[in-house]
Structure 1
Amino acid sequence: MLEGTVRELEELFTCKEEEPRKQDTSSASEEIEELEKFIEEAHQQHVEVPGLDTCTRTTQEEGHGDMGGDTTTIDEESAAEVGDVPQKKEDRTYTMDVDLRPPRNPRIEKIGIIVGDSIIRNIRGERTVDNQLMARTAGNKDIRSDEEEELDANEGDNNGAQIDAVKDTIRNLDYRKNSSPVQLLAFLKRPEQESWDVSRSAEIMEATIQLMKAKVHQNHKRSLHVTDILSIEVLSLIANASGCLPYMLPPKCPNHCLAKKYRHITGACNNRNHPRWGASNTALARWLPPVYEDGISQPKGWNPSFSYSGFQLPLVREVTRKVIHASNEAITEDDLYSHIIVEWGQYIDHDIAFTPQSTSRAAFIRGVDCQLTCENQNPCYPIKVPANDTLSAGMGCMPFYRSAPACGTGNQGVIWGNLSAANPREQINGLTSFLDASTVYGSTSALENKLRNLTTNEGLLKVNTQYSDHGRDYLPFVTQVPSPCTQDPTADKAERIECFLAGDSRSSEVISLAALHTLWLREHNRLAKELKKLNPFWSSETVYQETRKIIGALHQIITLRDYIPKIIGPVAFNQYIGKYQGYDPTVNPTVSNVFSTAAFRFGHATIPPVIKRFNAQFQDHPDFQNLHLHEVFFSPWRLIKEGGLDPLIRGLLVGSAKLQMQDQIMNEELTEKLFVLSNAGSMDLASLNLQRGRDHGLPGYNEWREFCGLSRLETQEDLSTAISNYSLVEKLMDLYGHPNNIDVWLGGLAENFLPGARTGPLFACIIGKQMKTLREGDWFWWENRPIFTKAQRHELEKHSLSRVICENTGLAHTPADAFQLSKYPQDFLLCDQIPGINLEAWKERYDQVGSCDLPKRVANGDFILCSEGGKDIAVYSCHHGYELQGQEQLTCSNGKWSFQPPVCEDINECEDPLNPPCHASAACKNTIGSYECLCTDPYDLAEDAKTCIDSGRLPKASLASIILTIILIISWTFAGWLVIWQCRAHSIHDSAGMNVIKDGTKLSKDIASSKCYEVKNSLQNISAKHVEKV
């Protein structure tokens, strides 16, 4: 019945008139009425679509706005939060809590069962366990619905396509079985669950629209816009069904006094007028319009015949080999800056930007595994590699996945805003844009909860419970094990050292980066314990938030005071950043696409090929040798089992950064050995960077020079004025044909340095402009007067990275400036001589909390005190996984609190019918403060921790049956042969004495032999039946 209903719906989608239908209210109402009839009919037939409800979200009242059963559409006002559309200052009807995930409308969910059932369900790849088992038993790769067959039959060369790419993705991402470089990169780029959900919803929406456009084109034999066929209301229904709509709506910001005291973990509501500015899981900002080959979504270089300024773009791998690659022996060391400045740049980059890759590892339309194809099939955008290239792996290409689109952009753009205007594809930033130490605390409430130690009242972060570094803490391990991190080849097989858990998922990428994450974990816990001693009446939440605020401020200070001036030079710093003038609510702090994808990746060219480890005298360590970069990828065991942080930190302080030279742009550890694991192949970071820029549609080199007020370079002679190495200029012109076409990342790297800088004028401009927006547009910037007291700001300014190292390692000496290359011992100071923060500026007296006694603490939650309108207020909150029952705010009046404290009750996520936490293939088990998805044998939980996938092994029950059957067969066979042996022995004995045995006795022996023969046959038959049953 469902198949017929979907076909009827497709007929509804396909306009019977040849002319486009006008989108008037009456036709929209008729469409919706027809849809509802189909829905009612389907529900009367008890139609169920496994897991479809997990991708339908919209808003309801209960603190968000009453949908009243009506459909929500998004106009230009809401679209302004995604792009650069000016936002209207009007009251919004629908708002959301800062978690950006509102409850959904049941009516919309029902419509979603029909709308796109043959599209969305298949794109999501949500099959039941039974269907997977049937497919495996039948020997088929997949089970295809009638709708898929019908769709494929109408898709021309795309016939035979498998649309359930997500299912194949979950299999391919099961890194526990195989960790290739491509899968390690996928693990590195896998976002937190909320970012995954946003990305997946956007891709479902995009693929659905693409399929609908193909359907429209097929029926009309000419190009028509989807909105010529479908009303806005129906398109909005599809938007709800995909799950995109809620992520487009602005969050509902809290109004209590804490809103301006502590930043939200997601970065939302930093700016009350633009609450999504800088928040996690929102689109990267565009400073220039993107350049896509179809004007909407196709990356640069997608079509080989497409030309730019009369030339085709060169293959990125060819650019790497001819221009970027340098051998390890050929690199030049920086004589000014230490290796740790390189690591700080990477660490800070991971604080402000993370662009998730596509959630699928297979093509959406044809279902081809991206690791097995060299064709451009979204999201597959492979990097072409020459046949004789070391990275070809016999395929002729290196797998590459497009970044996930932001909801409401690209081919989904027909849903949002002005339908007559193009709405090109944008990319997501999974992190907060702000310099807020999200590397320490995360960018979502769920991750923050994983990182916190809620068993004490000291506001601490969790630490490793298995290993310690001479009494100092390590980062905890990830909970999903086994993780893809490499293991000590000499260790016992039972011993595993997993990847580290930190605020950013890339913390285990290299051990030097893990060292910085570890330093800040230790610094948070050190400061929290000291603050608790100073203010014993502070609640655990107060201690945590105050410490988090200090750590965030230190990240800002070290970056803007100590790091950025060295990178862009003093002249550019004064020109683009200058002195702090205070918070500016008109400045959008959202990280820009060009900054994240190109300019701030300049640091890749400064990474040295070797990581050094020194002893206490800052000489080569006798036990722990220096390591090439490819030996430390995803190797936290080297940190734990090879001396801890101290030898590594010494090497980072004394070792040099690589000097970025125009003929030595990137060393071979990154261009030939990225994520190399034995013989499993490797990747090329330079090619990945170039391809990512094209994937994001970044305009060319000259467009960005013009954006920064620099002159355009139109000829080879012009280019030589910006790049002094004429050999490099010739190579660039030979590859690109025209300076316009040079990829902005490479063009910016190749420029001559500014005086006192480590970048040229283009990157100095982009980095400087971005840092200014991050400072001016952040209400919680440490210099903004309401955030810290004058005394506190004075203490914060004293602190430095050198002091953090002194406090949290065994080093007794450090340079005054950790980023400045120093020689031991002449350039080092005793740690006692390095200034540090005095926390006395944070000390409060007990009577400062007001006339009321301290409010009562609640289990699984906590409170923070603040003042508003001259009154003391206690604001309660619950830990993640619990919901607050009662009053959130208590006001102190006449020596008493206005209400009884609330309680925090466990949320039973498994009972949520509109937003089930587990895939339909898994069983949900509620746990205290969380939930668990369980799989039945022989299925395993996939990497998303929600979906059950075929493990490839037999069920335990079947295995037991097989073992039992084998035992029975062996037993019966042994018994049969024993009987036969006895019969034969008896027969021989009878034959020997036959002459003396009477005829009657001989007859009885013959009968006995006959019975032996019958027993033998019976045993063989029994064994055969058991084998047949198995």
Structure 2
Amino acid sequence: MRAIHILVYLTLLSLQVAGTYLSRYSGNNYRLTLLRRRPSSRPSSDVIRDVISQAVNIVKAEDGMLRNRFIQDVDRELEEYRDVDPNLFIDSPLPVSLLSRRCRLINWIGRLAREKRLRVPMTQILRHSEAQRHDVTCPFKLPTCSPAKPFRTIDGTCNNPRRPYLGAAFTAFKRESKPAYERENTYLAGTICTRDDKPRTTGVNRRPLPNPREISVRVHQSNSNTNPESTVTFIFTLWGQFLAHDLTDRAPGKGFKDVPLECCDQTVKTPKGICSNMDIPPGDFFRKFGRRCLAFARSAEVTDFDCSGANREVLNLASSFLDGGSIYGVDLNKLRRLRAFTGGLLETSQMKNLPISTHPNAKAAAQGFSFFLAGDDRVNEFTGLIGIETVWVREHNRIAQILSRYNPLWDDERIFLETRRIIISMLQHITYNEYLPKIIAEDLLRKFDLKLQADGYYRGYDSAVDPRVSNLFATVALRFGHSMMRSTFTLVDEKFKLGRTPALTLRNLFFTPIIFLNNEDSIMRGMSSDASETCDRIVTKEFVNHLYQTKTGNGFDLPAFNIQRGRDHGLGGYNHWRSHYGLSIARSFTTSQTSGFRDHDQETVNRFKAVYSHPDDVDPWTGGVSELTGSRHLAVGPLFQNIIAHQFQVLRKGE
């Protein structure tokens, strides 16, 4: 009986640490403006150490009852919580993350106790956990909204007067169907501590899913540096990246004390379950450089608005609205750094370029130049993205100067807000009037009410519509542009003739703002002239082997990341989503119109068959990006057309 009491104490202690200390988490790392803060002090490292040590010592004291092996197992499982930096209890991205860890520990203790034939009164444990459900996992509170304010908030709150948090930044991506995580046999079935949240690793027949790196190389890698060109310029692809950064910003999981993760470094201790690395197969390109592992950190977890904790949800740092967040940011602190606070203008640096970031960065220091600052923290990822952000900052300032000239009584704040409203309208009009018709067929544009009116006002707003960006859209469909990325980019002079400088290679345009600064006009003219590649299964080697590389061999693989991210986010397979949108599914690795991959060519299906065990196992990004479009004037196939059309429909109706 003494053993039972100790197990109960240990388990309740786990929940107490989660409940008491997590309620004190402020969430400053992710600027969570919707989290409530409690007026309590930050716990000291010594307090946390003492609590955990006490539990371990009590278990050890009952050596005779619990048996040495059981004590060693519990002690080893608690090693993560006892020996690593105790700030683990505070520096987790969101409360639900640590509650999840505590639940896993409780489940593990319960299963272990059952194996040792120890009777554990789980009813008492569950009663305690249910009592803390909302205290631990429900951080949201309603923001204060005023109907008298005619302008948008910076973070997307109050867009919907009935549900003011819908679409706001720092909330969960929306799910369109039940998550598809790896199934587990959970001890506390049907409780707050029961859920499947590990990335899928097995297919429908319980065979292991293929390695994402293997899929990338065998299905997506190009055998040439030049691939088929589409009917749109590269600006089309660049606009897609700009939209993706405006609507979505996935928060990466982080290590202890907010340190960036080193998932492939076995000497670095990382939080349990946060890494989901990919093995590099024998004979692979990366093997020549001594690499055996592609690091992959899972996305940061967040609770949904119902605070049930039933599913692992994914944090979106951006607002779901097409509101210029990549230009202006989504929190007031960032916005203050971007504004000039005179004449409604945004800050610029020399030659009307983006302002210079004062945040130290090793990559920038190596180039002898600082990174640019924009509303989007990822602006320096790609030279073209710097260019399009620069265009919009200059356009904002141009319009602000006109408004200031015609409205001399307006102060800085009024000019800024009016200008921002105009810029947002321009972004939305370009997207719906010019961008979407290149992606979505005419009949689907009408079906989803995406065609703009020639005059008058749109009357289709519905406050009951949930406008949030879906996990599927953000993780799968919106990434179709990765297939359209070029390997090289030409420099074009002011007469739109090729410059004397050789074409720029994609691998040299990641995190290199100095290249933009020296060639900004030529680069943007070139991207307005170069054609995008077609959207198909083929992805440039620059993305497959050289993503973000700083020296040959240390790059990453974007298609593999896309595939693994879909599994990380609990998204089902390609067939699941075809069925979800009323499209036919493939039951065989053929191109049969009735039972096969009817929207793919035979070469693609053969490559699917070579790596997947069953058609249901095909990953949604791989299956979707490989579809035939049916028209050379459309960028994507049927599945992605439906996903994208549905997302922009709810954005329009729920905005």
Task: Compute the TM-score of the two structures, normalised by the length of structure 1.
Answer: 0.55
Contact 1:55–1:201, Cα closer than 8 Å, also in 2: yes
1:673 Cα offset (Å):
0.4
Match of 2:584 in 1: 711
Contact 2:624–2:637, Cα closer than 8 Å, also in 1: yes
What CA distance in whole angstroms lies between the structure 1 residues aligned with 2:642 and 2:83?
Answer: 41
- Matched residue type, 2:159: N
- Matched residue type, 1:117: I
SS at match of 1:372: coil
What CA distance in whole angstroms lies between the structure 1 residues aligned with 2:316 and 2:92?
Answer: 11
Rate the CA distance shift 1:430–1:695 in 2: closer, same or farther, 3 A. same
Counterpart check, 1:245 vs 2:138? yes
Rate the CA distance shift 1:227–1:571 in 2: closer, same or farther, 3 A. farther
What CA distance in whole angstroms lies between the structure 2 residues aligned with 1:744 and 1:433?
Answer: 22
Match of 2:103 in 1: 209
What CA distance in whole angstroms lies between the structure 1 residues aligned with 2:382 and 2:329?
Answer: 19
- Matched residue type, 1:280: A
What CA distance in whole angstroms lies between the structure 2 residues aligned with 1:214 and 1:596?
Answer: 33
What CA distance in whole angstroms lies between the structure 2 residues aligned with 1:362 and 1:320?
Answer: 33
Contact 1:577–1:769, Cα closer than 8 Å, also in 2: no
SS at match of 1:532: helix
Match of 1:435 in 2: 322
Match of 2:36 in 1: 102
Match of 2:420 in 1: 548
- Matched residue type, 2:602: Y
What CA distance in whole angstroms lies between the structure 2 residues aligned with 1:266 and 1:672?
Answer: 36
Deviation per CA, 1:425-470: give whole Å up to 9, x if none: 111111000000101011122222222223x2x1221222xxx23x
Match of 1:462 in 2: 347
Match of 2:364 in 1: 485
SS at match of 1:716: coil
Match of 1:405 in 2: 301
Contact 1:405–1:428, Cα closer than 8 Å, also in 2: yes
Rate the CA distance shift 1:157–1:689 in 2: closer, same or farther, 3 A. farther
1:369 Cα offset (Å):
5.2
1:660 Cα offset (Å):
2.5
1:56 Cα offset (Å):
6.4
Match of 1:530 in 2: 402
Q: Of residues 151, 156, 159 in structure 2, which corresponds to 1:267?
A: 156
1:735 Cα offset (Å):
1.6
Rate the CA distance shift 1:564–1:323 in 2: closer, same or farther, 3 A. same
1:357 Cα offset (Å):
1.2
Counterpart check, 1:695 vs 2:568? yes
Q: Of residues 510, 513, 519 in structure 2, which corresponds to 1:633?
A: 510
- Matched residue type, 1:652: M
Counterpart check, 1:737 vs 2:632? no
The structure with higher relative contact order (CA 8 Å, sep 6+) is 2
What CA distance in whole angstroms lies between the structure 1 residues aligned with 2:100 and 2:47?
Answer: 12
Counterpart check, 1:292 vs 2:223? no
Match of 2:225 in 1: 329
Match of 1:342 in 2: 237
1:245 Cα offset (Å):
3.4
SS at match of 2:532: strand
What CA distance in whole angstroms lies between the structure 2 residues aligned with 1:114 and 1:168?
Answer: 6
Match of 2:435 in 1: 563
- Matched residue type, 2:462: D
Contact 1:363–1:369, Cα closer than 8 Å, also in 2: no
Counterpart check, 1:319 vs 2:215? yes
What CA distance in whole angstroms lies between the structure 2 residues aligned with 1:389 and 1:445?
Answer: 46
Aligned residues: 613
Match of 1:371 in 2: 264
Contact 1:387–1:394, Cα closer than 8 Å, also in 2: no
Contact 2:156–2:319, Cα closer than 8 Å, also in 1: yes
Contact 1:576–1:768, Cα closer than 8 Å, also in 2: yes
Q: Of residues 117, 122, 141 in structure 1, which corresponds to 2:48?
A: 117
Rate the CA distance shift 1:680–1:236 in 2: closer, same or farther, 3 A. farther
What CA distance in whole angstroms lies between the structure 2 residues aligned with 1:226 and 1:766?
Answer: 47
1:498 Cα offset (Å):
1.5
Higher-Rg member (1/2): 1
- Matched residue type, 2:353: Y
Contact 2:36–2:141, Cα closer than 8 Å, also in 1: no
SS at match of 1:550: helix
Deviation per CA, 1:95-125: give whole Å up to 9, x if none: xx9932434144xx69x88999359x99xxx
Task: Compute the TM-score of the two structures, normalised by the length of structure 2.
Answer: 0.84
Aligned CA-pair RMSD? 3.9
- Matched residue type, 1:752: L
Match of 2:493 in 1: 615
- Matched residue type, 2:622: L
- Matched residue type, 2:328: Y
Contact 1:486–1:635, Cα closer than 8 Å, also in 2: no
1:548 Cα offset (Å):
0.8
- Matched residue type, 1:626: A
Q: Of residues 365, 370, 374 in structure 2, which corresponds to 1:498?
A: 370
- Matched residue type, 1:768: A
Match of 2:533 in 1: 658
Rate the CA distance shift 1:434–1:116 in 2: closer, same or farther, 3 A. farther
1:219 Cα offset (Å):
4.6
SS at match of 1:503: coil
SS at match of 1:709: coil
SS at match of 1:459: coil
What CA distance in whole angstroms lies between the structure 1 residues aligned with 2:120 and 2:321?
Answer: 39
Map 1:191-210 onto structure 2 (within 5 A). Answer: 199-210=93-104
Match of 1:893 in 2: none
Deviation per CA, 1:916-943: give whole Å up to 9, x if none: xxxxxxxxxxxxxxxxxxxxxxxxxxxx
Rate the CA distance shift 1:763–1:15 in 2: closer, same or farther, 3 A. closer
Contact 1:166–1:359, Cα closer than 8 Å, also in 2: no
Q: Of residues 764, 769, 787 in structure 1, which corresponds to 2:646?
A: 769
What CA distance in whole angstroms lies between the structure 2 residues aligned with 1:675 and 1:609?
Answer: 14
What CA distance in whole angstroms lies between the structure 1 residues aligned with 2:143 and 2:121?
Answer: 32
Rate the CA distance shift 1:736–1:558 in 2: closer, same or farther, 3 A. same
SS at match of 2:301: coil
- Matched residue type, 1:274: R
Counterpart check, 1:605 vs 2:483? yes
1:153 Cα offset (Å):
5.4
Higher percent of residues as strand:
1
What CA distance in whole angstroms lies between the structure 2 residues aligned with 1:363 and 1:452?
Answer: 28
1:734 Cα offset (Å):
2.8
1:539 Cα offset (Å):
1.9
Contact 1:322–1:731, Cα closer than 8 Å, also in 2: yes
Rate the CA distance shift 1:270–1:197 in 2: closer, same or farther, 3 A. farther
Contact 2:372–2:380, Cα closer than 8 Å, also in 1: yes
Contact 1:309–1:741, Cα closer than 8 Å, also in 2: no
SS at match of 1:427: strand
Match of 1:684 in 2: 557
Match of 1:877 in 2: none
Rate the CA distance shift 1:438–1:165 in 2: closer, same or farther, 3 A. farther
- Matched residue type, 1:460: L
Gap regions ≥5 residues in structure 1: 1-7, 17-30, 40-48, 58-96, 123-144, 171-195, 489-495, 779-1030
- Matched residue type, 1:333: E
What CA distance in whole angstroms lies between the structure 1 residues aligned with 2:84 and 2:246?
Answer: 29
What CA distance in whole angstroms lies between the structure 2 residues aligned with 1:617 and 1:322?
Answer: 42
Match of 1:1002 in 2: none
What CA distance in whole angstroms lies between the structure 1 residues aligned with 2:119 and 2:46?
Answer: 20
Counterpart check, 1:649 vs 2:540? no
What CA distance in whole angstroms lies between the structure 1 residues aligned with 2:258 and 2:401?
Answer: 51
Contact 1:483–1:499, Cα closer than 8 Å, also in 2: no
SS at match of 2:232: strand
Among all aligned residue pairs of Structure 1 and Structure 2, give the percentage whose two residues are the same amino acid: 27
What CA distance in whole angstroms lies between the structure 2 residues aligned with 1:497 and 1:381?
Answer: 34
Contact 1:363–1:370, Cα closer than 8 Å, also in 2: no
